[in-house]
Structure 1
């Protein structure tokens, strides 16, 4: 009994002294556990200039494959609870886009949208996928739209969730802060991260405070890397001139409470893409697939099922 008490005391002291290190451990363990539960496997895919870390699942012989693209500063884990709804019926490929997650960052590596799209075409080639349904959020939506416009023979359909890539008529909270010279993604303290996290979703799922503090620490550690990626990403060619060339069936989902990219962008996408289905959800922020993964999956499944009709 004494040994157990001492062990607990030592662990408690270690956790307090190394805070929030235990949060990193809890986050990584929980993501790995969820992936395993949903039958997603981590697969490292070598492409021309790097190795891309992916979650993959589903019947590999399936005719339909889905490529899921996360946003700027995020990683492949944000898709887990959404992806679980498709692993039985589709081949699912969820990469850490270059510069993010376990794919890693290389200074001067180039993180503009056209180059990121080229890398994903290489990824599909290595994975043996000829044509794919692509769904992307934020920066991932920008890349998804670029793929649909520039590589139409590789894209069976495109789904855009609060995508970047066009100029919003109305400024978002993020745009206002950027105009004042502050980038909320470049975190300097835990308080900064808390404010930023509240901007990303209207009703974020519950996450233990120690895990959020660990994620805040990761953002702080990656501040210079994220700044370079942001500069490359925001210097990319705009989507407006290319929207009319998107001929694949397209779905647009937007959270009306999005504080990162204003919902006033919707008419620009609607006027530009000929074959676009639009949904705007009240009470939802920038990442519907995280806030309401089941509802978002039902919408997307209905979209995919409607393609045959």
Structure 2
């Protein structure tokens, strides 16, 4: 092959790769974000699996890299969130415990079925079935929930104590916390988390993060792809928010929490602008045996802003009184 042919080949191959990438992006724009999620998952040392539980297909990340007999930890994400929110914490717990990090039905990669109820009670029953089918730990699991996932975890732990040995509620929804802008907007029928353009995306990030250094960086075209995805989810988000934030089910987790007898953890951030830290004490009245952790310098996304301290609190919950 001549030098001229080699030079042409060196030009043609990158052009062909760019063309293929452009075609993939055109046919499936969200593949860019999925690829980054896969990178994050692998960096955390997690694998990916799917399973059908009743009528929903669940997608979850997991790690079985743990000592024999290690507890199983199940992590539930919050409203508009996904399993990826837990990866920084999961990375710090991997190797000590068996980890299951699902996308809740209706969210992320898991199946969404039109007309179904995705409120606290319905999701708690689905989580119970997921635990029975996938976790299969006769001692019960350590169930952790963030934000909306915290409310779901509280209901699950209260109603299914045989499946849940310990529970951790992190910045959890489900109680009537002190008024703040987020709560007022929810009660007024709005979705404070709605993302429709670059400005509302920035407002969303400003609301959930206190530490600017922890905020995810999403350059174009990822930011535009994410915005389009959230615009497509707007109706679903409002339906769920109406159920968990404005219905007779809004405070179900706080009421159900009175039945939680298991060892428990309540963890908040002092600067949480979504679920005001006053919620910690409201939950503590219902779960007096719970240990309480109030972090400083973080907002609603403690999982990402201070994952080391969150992981340490979870380890304390798991190891407290545990026999080998």
- TM-score over 0.5 (shorter chain): yes
2:55 corresponds to which residue? Answer: 49
Runs of 4+ in 1 over 4 A off after TM superposition: 1-23
Shift of 1:205: 3.2
Note if 1:152 corresponds to 2:161. yes
Partner of 2:313: 299
Verify: 1:173 aligned to 2:173, yes or no: no
Residue matched to 2:293: 279
From 181, 186, 207, the equivalent of 1:199 is: 207
Moved more, 246-255 or 260-269: 260-269
| 1:229 aligned partner | 240
**What's the counterpart of residue 3 of structure 2?**
none
Corresponding residue of 1:182? 190
Match of 2:266 among 218, 236, 252: 252
Distance 2:269 2:224 in 1: 26
Give the aligned partner of residue 289 of structure 1.
303
Corresponding position of 1:212 = 223
> In structure 2, what is the Cα distance between the partners aligned to 1:199 and 1:21?
32
Mapped partners of 2:156, 2:216: distance in 1: 34
- 1:18–1:49 Cα change, 3 Å: closer
Contact 1:190–1:217 (CA<8 Å) still a contact in 2? no
Q: Note closer, same or farther for the CA distance 1:13–1:46 as it changes in structure 2 (3 Å cut).
A: closer
CA contact (8 A) 1:40 1:56 kept: yes
Instruction: Give the match for residue 36 of structure 2.
Output: 30
Change (3 A) 1:19 1:255: farther
Counterpart for residue 143 of structure 1: 152
Say if 1:15 and 1:21, in contact at 8 Å, map to a contact too.
no
Report the Cα offset of residue 242 of structure 1: 2.5
RMSD: 2.7
Separation in structure 1 between the aligned mates of residue 201 and residue 265 of structure 2, nearest angstrom? 31
Does residue 74 of the first structure (1) align with residue 84 of the second (2)? Answer: no
Q: Paired residue for 2:92?
A: 85
Q: Report the TM-score when normalising by structure 1.
A: 0.89
Report the Cα offset of residue 256 of structure 1. 1.0
Deviates more, 1:264-273 or 1:236-245: 236-245
1:129: Cα distance to partner? 3.0
Of the candidates 47, 58, 64, which is equivalent to residue 58 of structure 1?
Answer: 64
Once the two structures are TM-superposed, the CA of residue 289 in structure 1 deviates from its matched residue by 1.0
Q: Cα distance 1:209–1:307, how it changes in 2: closer, same or farther (>3 A)?
A: farther
Q: Distance in 2 between matches of 1:246 and 1:4?
A: 65
Rounded to whole Å, the distance in 1 between the matches of 2:27 and 2:321 is 46
Larger of the two Rg values belongs to structure: 2
> Match of 1:147, SS?
helix
Structure 2, unmatched stretches of 5+, are 1-6
